[in-house]
């Protein structure tokens, strides 16, 4: 691997850029939701409290790590080291700056697979403890994953078939021209976008799908027994998940305007992708602020009775629209 690639992986648009983004998105979430709730949100650290998530992260790093003797601490440490890595790795395939560090035909499937594994790792976090709250939270998380994951995979295939590629970079490049050339495609595209957002909301565990860590029912769900450094890394993991979800959704469904052909254009296209990610998160956080938590049974009902059939419906609608000209001619 040459030096340039190494810098890309470690600094921009790789590891460091992603962590900065994660911290920024955490602030964005807190500030946005706070303003929607007529609160101030973070104000003290930095410009309008922009450094507050970083301050929280550093503070947690210095706190005492209380190790629960009934828990499997080695397992927990391993999970918390592997899980953020998985998201950073899958983000290498997503055009965070308009272009991707690594790319091959079929990386969409790899990224979907990795993100599923990362969600499953959270289940292990709850399962390593012998507390009834973490157990119940972990069980709920597993049920939730079973609900949203299938829908998410089916829906991610909609833009893939529209752009006729399984490579995320190619999809984000071709999606706008594909939809413009056949405006009928907007129907399954819009359908899939809304449903995909719901599935991603469940992945992020935000309201109305914050069931696995429902504060007023299960204390903190599967997170209950974690503290100190481990909690800091779990928070970082959740923030990286936010980065992954926003950029992944934006690159699959929004298309690109600026193509990163030169150094200046790379900056322009990174800003473009960043704004699109903020838009995705804005929609998700508006839903989060406007809704109550639902029960796990309601979630399974919603996903298995409506969202999964609807996602297969939009997929088949797409096939019909794609095949229609061939049949008619």
Chain residues binding another protein by CB under 8 A are: 33, 36-39, 132, 136, 207-208, 210-211, 214-219, 289-298
Report CA-CA distances (Å) from 140 to 133, 159, 209, 247, 253.
11, 30, 11, 27, 29
When the beta carbons of 15 and 219 are compared against another protein, the nearer one is 219
Whether 213 and 220 have beta carbons less than 8 Å apart is answered as yes
Residue 37 Cβ vs another protein, minimum distance, rounded to whole Å: 4
d(CA 268, CA 281) in angstroms, rounded, equals 20
Packed helices 73-91 and 228-253: angle between N→C axes, nearest 10 degrees: 30
Residue 148 Cβ vs another protein, minimum distance, rounded to whole Å: 17
Grouping H, G, I as helix, E, B as strand and the rest as coil, residue 210 is coil
When the beta carbons of 21 and 226 are compared against another protein, the nearer one is 226
Residue 29 Cβ vs another protein, minimum distance, rounded to whole Å: 13
When the beta carbons of 293 and 322 are compared against another protein, the nearer one is 293
When the beta carbons of 262 and 292 are compared against another protein, the nearer one is 292
d(CA 329, CA 321) in angstroms, rounded, equals 13
When the beta carbons of 135 and 322 are compared against another protein, the nearer one is 135
Output Rg (C-alpha) for the chain, integer angstroms: 20
* Residues 6+ away with beta carbon under 8 Å from 187: 317, 321
Residue 23 Cβ vs another protein, minimum distance, rounded to whole Å: 22
Packed helices 132-163 and 308-328: angle between N→C axes, nearest 10 degrees: 10
When the beta carbons of 38 and 69 are compared against another protein, the nearer one is 38
Packed helices 228-253 and 132-163: angle between N→C axes, nearest 10 degrees: 20
Residue 284 Cβ vs another protein, minimum distance, rounded to whole Å: 14
Residue 207 Cβ vs another protein, minimum distance, rounded to whole Å: 5
When the beta carbons of 188 and 208 are compared against another protein, the nearer one is 208
Residue 246 Cβ vs another protein, minimum distance, rounded to whole Å: 21
Structure tokens at 30: 């807190």
Report CA-CA distances (Å) from 45 to 17, 48, 56, 263, 326.
20, 7, 10, 33, 60
Locus of tokens 């797409």: 318
d(CA 75, CA 203) in angstroms, rounded, equals 22
């Amino acid at each position: 691997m040459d030096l340039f690639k190494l810098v890309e992986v470690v600094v921009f648009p790789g590891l460091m850029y992603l962590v900065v983004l994660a911290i920024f998105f955490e602030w964005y979430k807190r500030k946005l939701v706070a303003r929607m709730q007529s609160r101030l949100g973070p104000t003290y650290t930095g410009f309008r409290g922009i450094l507050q998530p970083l301050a929280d992260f550093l503070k947690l790093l210095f706190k005492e790590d209380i190790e629960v003797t009934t828990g499997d601490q080695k397992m927990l440490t391993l999970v918390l080291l592997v899980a953020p890595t998985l998201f950073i790795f899958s983000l290498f395939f997503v055009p965070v700056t308009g272009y991707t560090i690594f790319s091959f035909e079929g990386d969409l499937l790899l990224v979907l697979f990795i993100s599923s594994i990362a969600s499953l790792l959270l289940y292990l976090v709850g399962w390593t403890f012998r507390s009834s709250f973490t157990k119940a939270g972990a069980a709920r998380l597993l049920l939730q994953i079973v609900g949203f994951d299938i829908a998410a995979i089916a829906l991610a295939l909609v833009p893939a078939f529209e752009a006729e590629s399984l490579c995320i970079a190619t999809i984000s490049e071709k999606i706008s021209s594909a939809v413009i050339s056949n405006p009928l495609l907007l129907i399954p595209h819009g359908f899939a976008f809304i449903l995909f957002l719901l599935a991603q909301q469940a992945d992020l565990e935000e309201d109305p799908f914050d069931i696995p860590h429902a504060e007023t029912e299960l204390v903190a769900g599967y997170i209950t027994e974690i503290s100190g450094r481990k909690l800091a890394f779990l928070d970082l993991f959740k923030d990286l998940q936010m980065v992954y979800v926003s950029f992944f959704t934006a690159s699959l469904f929004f298309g690109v305007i600026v193509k990163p052909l030169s150094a200046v254009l790379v900056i322009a296209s990174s800003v473009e992708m960043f704004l699109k990610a903020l838009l995705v998160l804005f929609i998700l956080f508006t839903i989060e602020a406007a809704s109550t938590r639902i029960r796990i049974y309601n979630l399974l009902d919603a996903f298995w009775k409506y969202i999964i059939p609807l996602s297969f419906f939009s997929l088949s609608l797409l096939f019909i629209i794609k095949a229609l000209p061939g049949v008619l001619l």
